[in-house]
């Protein structure tokens, strides 16, 4: 589901730049033909951060929000959205997802979200992972908006991808590493309401906690 076409060795030799594949020679949008590509295992991990107040986090931890279990709702929303990505993003290919996981780590004034998607197909699942994170964040907002309308979803980004012709890519890395796999979210801790996402999710430096606006 990448939007930039890989460039061959001959193209590099001639100095040709990478080009967008979702537009034709006339600039019109199109769905890319991937029928000639090999079916390979492809994975992607995306992350985001849902920022709220310590007071809301306290409600979330004790399942005290008016709408109920926000973490469970967000997790299901993320999984469901990943499966509907091609309906939401016009030029994405319908992909048969084989696995989707959504992990939520509750901090002092934020919830870190990580989504990992996996398939064996002819195109990648980066957009599915990103869509999953966004949907989980939107669900969290819907669950807490009665007590914090100023909550926000930030730092949505691709963390890693693997598989396909372009190989592996890791955010912040020095380059692609063929054959590598995205960092997987850690296993859930028995008895906990959310799983840590470890190094897959970064926290913005210097972010000050916001004060609660109080119930509306």
Question: Could you give the residue numbers annotated as active site?
Answer: 142
CB atoms near residue 188 (< 10 Å): 14
Q: Which residue has the tokens 């939007």?
A: 3
Q: Alpha-carbon distance 216 to 202, whole Å?
A: 31
Q: Is residue 127 annotated as involved in ligand binding?
A: yes
Q: Alpha-carbon distance 101 to 78, whole Å?
A: 8
Q: Is residue 92 annotated as involved in ligand binding?
A: yes
Q: Which token pair is 210? A: 């916001």
Q: Is residue 128 annotated as involved in ligand binding?
A: yes
Task: Give all strands of the β-sheet with 169-170 in edge-to-edge order.
Answer: 99-106, 110-121, 40-51, 152-162, 169-170
For residues 193 and 111, the answer to whether their CB atoms sit within 8 Å is no
DSSP state letter for 1: -
Residues flagged as binding site for substrate: 91-93, 127-128
Residue ranges for the known binding site are 91-93, 127-128
């Amino acid at each position: 589901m990448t939007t930039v076409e890989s460039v061959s060795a001959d193209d590099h030799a001639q100095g040709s730049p990478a080009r967008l594949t979702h537009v034709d020679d006339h600039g019109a949008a199109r769905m890319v033909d991937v029928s000639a590509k090999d079916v390979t295992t492809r994975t992607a991990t995306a992350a985001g951060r849902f920022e709220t107040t310590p007071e809301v986090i306290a409600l979330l931890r004790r399942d005290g929000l008016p709408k109920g279990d926000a973490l469970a709702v967000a997790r299901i929303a993320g999984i469901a959205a990943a499966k509907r990505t091609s309906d939401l993003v016009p030029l994405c290919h319908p992909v048969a997802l084989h696995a989707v996981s959504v992990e939520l780590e509750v901090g002092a004034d934020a919830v870190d979200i990580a989504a990992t998607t996996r398939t064996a197909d002819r195109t990648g699942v980066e957009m599915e992972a990103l869509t999953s994170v966004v949907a989980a964040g939107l669900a969290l907002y819907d669950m807490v908006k009665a007590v914090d309308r100023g909550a926000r979803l930030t730092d949505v980004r691709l963390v890693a991808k693997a598989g396909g012709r372009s190989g592996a890519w890791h955010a912040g890395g020095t380059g692609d590493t063929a054959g590598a796999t995205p960092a997987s979210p850690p296993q859930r801790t028995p008895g906990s309401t959310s799983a840590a996402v470890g190094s897959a999710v970064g926290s913005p430096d210097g972010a000050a906690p916001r004060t609660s606006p109080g119930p509306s």
